Amino acid sequence: MTQPPGRGTRIAHIGLAVRELDAILPFYRDVLGMAEAPLDDADGARIAGLAAGDSLVELLEPVAPGSPIAKFLDKRGPGIHHVCFAVDDLEATLARCRAAGIRLIDEHPRPGAEGKRIAFLHPASTAGVLVELTEY
């Protein structure tokens, strides 16, 4: 079976954990001049998207105590929360991760923001970086 030509793995977005979205948004939007991309809230977080070429910076502010972002902020403070890569074939990529002994947080793709399927990999297997995978 011939595979259609893939687009290759790209950075879809970088998720930043912030305590107050409204306090840091002007830096990215007004100082760095990044266009706002409206995003729905997800996983107990209010999210602002900012375009950086084909990639986004996502500012993640917790709205619910005990949410993943709230826990991250409690433990580590504001900073880079995760990096999301868009891949050509999410199932195949997860299978390769599994075969390579990478610890998966999501064994199977689940619905994420914007109706796309996503899966997270455990930072213990990825040099301390929480990696999210998604499809184009």
What's the closest the beta carbon of residue 8 comes to Zn ion, in angstroms?
19
CB nearer to Zn ion: pick between 15 and 49:
15
Tell how strand 10-17 and strand 79-87 pair up.
antiparallel
What's the closest the beta carbon of residue 87 comes to Zn ion, in angstroms?
14
What's the closest the beta carbon of residue 107 comes to Zn ion, in angstroms?
18
The residues binding Zn ion (CB under 5 A) are 15, 84, 132
What's the closest the beta carbon of residue 5 comes to Zn ion, in angstroms?
26
- Three-class secondary structure of residue 28 per DSSP: helix
CB nearer to Zn ion: pick between 31 and 120:
120
Nearest-angstrom CA–CA distance, 97 and 36: 33
Residue 122 CB-density burial (10 A; 0-12 exposed, 13-18 middle, 19+ buried):
middle
CB nearer to Zn ion: pick between 57 and 102:
57
Nearest to 35 by CA among 53, 9, 13: 53
CB nearer to Zn ion: pick between 11 and 102:
11
Nearest-angstrom CA–CA distance, 65 and 67: 6
Query: Which residues does residue 14 pair with via DSSP β-bridges, in sequence order?
Result: 57, 83
